Amino acid sequence: MSSECKKNECVANVQQKEKKIYEYFIEKGELFKLIMDSTIMIERGRRLAYGIARHLTMLGLDRGRILDVGCGTGRVSIPLAEMGFNVVGIDISPKYIEVASRRAKEKGLEDKAVFITCDAREMEKCIEGYKPFVAVIFVWSSVLGYYDEDTDLKILSAAYNVTTSNAALIIADSISRDFLLLQQYLLGMGKRVFEYDNIVVMEKLLYNPVTGNALVKQEFFKKDQSGNLVFLDDAYFEMHVYSLDELSRLANKAGWCMYRVLSSLEKDTGFSPFSALNAIFVKCKK
């Protein structure tokens, strides 16, 4: 898209998207933190960490450093460090990095897990002193899709540049266009309700199948002692949701070739449009 648009329009589009990202992950970052730090998401992070560790071990990449891009408060990085991996986590939110660093220190893992405030677009500069990495992970639509295809290509290319020759790229627990289209067909695009401990999130998703973009508006509520819902705030974000073939082509342009695609990293089940997307790439042979 952006390679064909006029330069001024592209700049304006990126600036607008930067503003939305800043609002959601920084200005209103405490809201998303309520989701990340809930019991269900912490446990989900541990299971993902186990699945990631398992596949890296099978690839012979159980030694060396892992880069967690868009690490949030460390729900995947810290369990990986507990399993013996060395991890560097980067995130655009200083608050999330502060929390992740504190948690790693509390667990005595500060030598195993390092967290750096960093825009993924500046990845190579931020982690200069820590490369090379044996693996780069993107968990739960953490970074890809928020800007444009050219930016995502640059991020995936940067991941290629900071890794060893036999490195892996893992995009884990990500929503795919296949899943979104199926969900739209079966359930429609009505409001959905999610519970995270005592937090209730009412989510409205608008999906444009022509562009592949999804606009997600969330309303956050807290349950009081009587079980009543107290409104906290609302927030929204917009992102491009990649189909499996789109993602594979984009990664391939950056030098990554598809190795495996799974619906679960824990169970080795094949890709299904009814589940999250877990794609494992390795560097293409030249």
* Structure-block tokens of residue 1: 């898209």
- Report whether 60 contacts 83 (CB < 8 A): no
What residue spans define the domains of the chain? 7-174+243-283, 179-239
Euclidean distance between the first and the last CA atom of the chain, given in angstroms as a whole number? 28
> Which residues on neighbouring strands pair with residue 207, listed in sequence order?
214
* Structure-block tokens of residue 7: 């330069």
Pairing of strands 86-91, 113-117: parallel
Q: Do domains 7-174+243-283 and 179-239 have the same CATH topology?
A: no
* Structure-block tokens of residue 18: 């930067």
* Structure-block tokens of residue 223: 């349950």
106 to 13, 75, 98: CA distances (angstroms): 41, 14, 12
Residue 251 and residue 160: Cα distance in Å, rounded?
10
Tens place of pLDDT for every residue, the chain, 286 residues? 444 555 566 666 778 888 889 999 999 999 999 999 999 999 999 999 999 999 999 999 999 999 999 999 999 999 999 999 999 999 999 999 999 999 999 999 999 999 999 999 999 999 999 999 999 999 987 789 999 999 999 999 999 999 999 999 999 999 888 888 877 766 666 788 999 999 999 999 888 888 999 999 999 999 999 999 999 999 999 999 999 999 999 999 999 999 999 988 988 778 877 788 899 999 998 7
Backbone angles phi, psi at 207, to 5 degrees: -115, 130
Whole-number pLDDT of residue 269: 79
> Which residues on neighbouring strands pair with residue 201, listed in sequence order?
194, 220
- Report whether 273 contacts 179 (CB < 8 A): yes
48 to 7, 86, 138, 193, 251: CA distances (angstroms): 40, 16, 11, 23, 21
What is the domain class of 7-174+243-283 according to CATH? alpha beta
Whole-number pLDDT of residue 135: 98
Whole-number pLDDT of residue 1: 45
Cis preceding-peptide flag for 79 (omega within 30 of 0) = no
* DSSP 8-state assignment for residue 141: S
Task: Report yes or no on whether pTM surpasses 0.95.
Answer: no
Whole-number pLDDT of residue 271: 80
Structural domain 179-239, CATH architecture: Single Sheet (2.20)
* Structure-block tokens of residue 191: 């409001």
